[in-house]
Amino acid sequence: MFFNYRGKTVGLLVLVAVLLAGTAAYAFHSWGPYHWARTSNPFTLKLGDNVSTAWDAYLAGASSDWSQSSVLNTTVVGGGTTARRCRPTSGRVEVCSYGYGFNGWLGVASIWISGSHIVQGTVKVNDSYFNTKTYNTPPWRRLVMCQEIGHEFGLDHQDENFYNPNLGTCMDYTSNPGGPPSNEHPNVHDYEQLEAIYTHIDSTTSVSQVVSNNGKGDSNEEDAIEGGKVLRKDSKGRDSLYVRNLGKDKKVFTFILWAD
């Protein structure tokens, strides 16, 4: 009886250890050692509004969702660029909507890096698709806006197979964002990963400098990936993450979310 008791105890401990290890792996979804430099937590990141009225509520909703994090807040401010070109502004994220054409993508997030620090970013949502019956729905709009903004903080996807069951997070590829469960908002693992990314404090800041680039560093996806390297393909074999080396320890990463 003593042997059986010990066996059950060991089995239970092993099971708990496996579950804890699985949880830790499941929560780990940063896309690199990159983060916004800041001197305290929580910090506030500005999201420039260059979207149409059809997107305003979804931008505000994504800002509210991500501000539930214990380490960061976001605030929507006036846009600093035009929606068509969607040029970056130092120290913040410009969010744009426009009919970029039937080129296959729903959303693009570009993130500029200096050393290990994020210094600016852009998000583009493609109205050429979101004006169609398939994608002109609240779940699709929420998913794409939430996911592309999430990349700007340093978050990666939790899963990249469109046909796996939904994980209940916007950082999950899906063919049915409304679920169940819904993939329209962040989940607890996203907030945990943000806490891990922003554990340490920096001595300088790359946030809210608000310095116009005067047209330099255009974020059109063709420019952002020109001369770049494909780092990843999605489950359908399409290029989904590029990095372009800009020299002097500077890079731009571009995430592409393709239409299903």
Q: Please name the residues in contact with 133: beta carbons below 8 A apart, sequence gap of 6 or more.
A: none
Give the domain ranges of the chain.
1-30, 31-258
User: What is the per-residue pLDDT across 198-246, written as a single tens digit (0 to 9) for each?
Assistant: 999 999 999 986 544 444 444 455 566 666 899 999 989 999 999 999 9
Q: What is the mean pLDDT of residues 149-157?
A: 98
Query: Whole-number mean pLDDT of the chain?
Result: 87
Which pLDDT value is given to residue 260?
Answer: 81
Q: What single string gives the DSSP state of each residue in 184-214? A: SS--HHHHHHHHHHT-S--SS--SS--EE-T
CATH code of 31-258, in short, is: 3.40.390.10
Give CA angle at 226 (80, 231), nearest 5°.
100
**How much is the pLDDT for 221?**
52
Half-sphere exposure (Cβ direction) of 33: Cα atoms closer than 13 Å: 4
Direct distance between the N- and C-terminal alpha carbons of the chain, in angstroms, rounded to an integer: 57
d(CA 62, CA 47) in angstroms, rounded, equals: 10
Q: Helices H, strands E: what count in the chain? A: 6, 11
